């Protein structure tokens, strides 16, 4: 029997050494931003499988494009307004002297993705777009330790039946490579089985990181999509956006393959996933401190599988850790089922 995989010491994406995560949010706005950055630029890729994405600077992540590394990745609420959070992150990076060198100039590279949280009960009647300031605050707050649940980009997230949230998880592989995931879960679909507290991601849970209830024992679950979003306000306002990361030395093509594989984890934790009304997107990042062997096929298979496992667990953790707030239009898991 193979040795079971175990989380890193934090069970966060920052178990990948050199990475940091920061959040910023406004309670009244019911929205916020999350930033992943590192001690140094990192190789990045992206895979988009949802039908309604909102993105910035993702074309440069294609394997055939010139730039090899980026300085930060942004996950934000706010729909298209939230893409401006990357402006604030760029300001922070520029102040730190970071960025792609073009002669005497440095240009920070900050791909971003957004989720739709404009109809979640928060006050969206602003005069000036709040997201650049939230992006700068999140960048300035970036650290190895960070909170989960109703924070950052997950502050105002909603699933099909419950409050969504910001989640993270990690795994240590037998090879010594670390893999982690960070996600803001705001899907049209549900992360729990119908009328029950059981998470779809339960088969992949480690310990009791999201309640320890195990899989739902019933068969024939969710024969048709069920979502409170469809009759309640707007079935088009969704999206799960994520980042998976590793310390392995991967090329841009290999990082892209990691992002593709990680989408399996999204589909195992959300039902349905990758719908026409979701902008489901996964960024992937590699810091490159752990070398791959001459034949990297087996390690790449293991890294992609671990990324999917981490993403499933991170989605469930984000919803499990969400907390109730004034004006919520959907309940949180803890309010219905209590902490475990």
Q: What angle do CA 241, 243, 249 make, to 5 degrees?
A: 155
Out of 35-39, 117-121, 255-259, pick the least confident: 117-121
pLDDT by residue (tens digit) across 269-279?
A: 999 999 999 99
Chain-centre distance of CA 183, in angstroms?
A: 2
Residue 187 burial (CB count, 10 A): 32
Question: Using one digit for the tens of pLDDT, what is the confidence trace for 180-237?
Answer: 999 999 999 999 999 899 999 999 999 999 999 999 999 888 777 778 776 554 555 7
Confidence band of 4 (pLDDT split at 50, 70, 90): confident
The count of other CB atoms within 10 Å of the CB of residue 18 is 16
Provide the CB-side half-sphere exposure for 242 (13 A, CA).
Answer: 44
Cβ proximity of 282 and 324 under 8 Å: no
The 10s digit of each residue's pLDDT in 86-138 is: 999 999 999 999 999 899 999 999 999 999 999 999 999 999 999 999 999 99
Sorting pLDDT into bands at 50, 70 and 90, what band is 295?
A: confident
The mean pLDDT of 3-19, rounded to a whole number, is: 94
Residues of the chain above pLDDT 90, percent: 87
Q: Which residue has the higher pLDDT, 148 or 339?
A: 148
| pTM, two decimal places | 0.96
- Looking at residue 223, its pLDDT comes to 73
> Contact 284/203 with Cβ under 8 angstroms?
no
* Amino acid 227: pLDDT: 83
Average pLDDT, the chain: 94
Q: Looking at residue 260, what is its pLDDT?
A: 98
**Cα–Cα distance between 287 and 247 in angstroms, integer?**
5
pLDDT of residue 182: 98
For residue 130 the two structure tokens come to 């709040």
Mean pLDDT for 50-60 is: 95
At 340, the pLDDT band (50, 70, 90 cuts) reads low
pLDDT of residue 224: 72
Section 18-34 average pLDDT? 97
């Amino acid at each position: 029997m193979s040795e079971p995989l175990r989380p890193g010491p934090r069970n966060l994406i920052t178990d990948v050494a050199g990475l940091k995560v920061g959040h910023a949010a406004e309670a009244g706005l019911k929205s916020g931003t999350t930033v992943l950055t590192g001690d140094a630029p990192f190789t990045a890729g992206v895979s988009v499988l949802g039908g309604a994405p909102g993105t910035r600077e993702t074309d440069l992540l294609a394997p055939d494009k010139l730039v090899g590394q980026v300085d930060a990745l942004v996950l934000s609420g706010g729909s298209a307004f939230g893409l401006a959070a990357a402006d604030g992150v760029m300001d922070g990076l520029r102040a730190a002297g970071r960025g792609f060198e073009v002669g005497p100039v440095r240009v920070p590279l900050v791909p971003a993705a957004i989720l739709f949280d404009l109809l979640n009960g928060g006050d969206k009647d602003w005069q000036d777009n709040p997201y650049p300031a939230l992006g700068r605050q999140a960048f300035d707050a970036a650290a190895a330790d960070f909170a989960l649940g109703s924070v950052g980009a997950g502050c105002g997230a909603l699933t099909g039946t419950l409050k969504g949230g910001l989640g993270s998880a990690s795994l240590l592989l037998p090879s010594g490579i670390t893999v982690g995931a960070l996600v803001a879960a705001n899907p049209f679909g549900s992360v729990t089985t119908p009328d029950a507290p059981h998470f779809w991601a339960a088969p992949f849970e480690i310990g009791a990181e999201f309640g320890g209830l195990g899989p739902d024992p019933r068969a024939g679950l969710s024969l048709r999509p069920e979502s409170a979003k469809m009759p309640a306000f707007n079935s088009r306002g969704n999206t799960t956006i994520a980042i998976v990361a590793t310390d392995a030395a991967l090329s841009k093509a290999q990082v892209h393959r990691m992002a593709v594989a990680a989408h399996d984890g999204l589909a195992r934790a959300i039902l349905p996933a990758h719908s026409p009304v979701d902008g489901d997107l996964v960024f992937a990042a590699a810091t490159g401190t752990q070398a791959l062997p001459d034949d990297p096929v087996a390690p790449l298979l293991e890294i992609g599988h671990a990324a999917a496992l981490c993403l499933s667990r991170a989605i469930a953790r984000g919803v499990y850790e969400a907390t109730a707030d004034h004006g919520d239009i959907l309940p949180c898991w803890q309010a219905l089922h209590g902490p475990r």
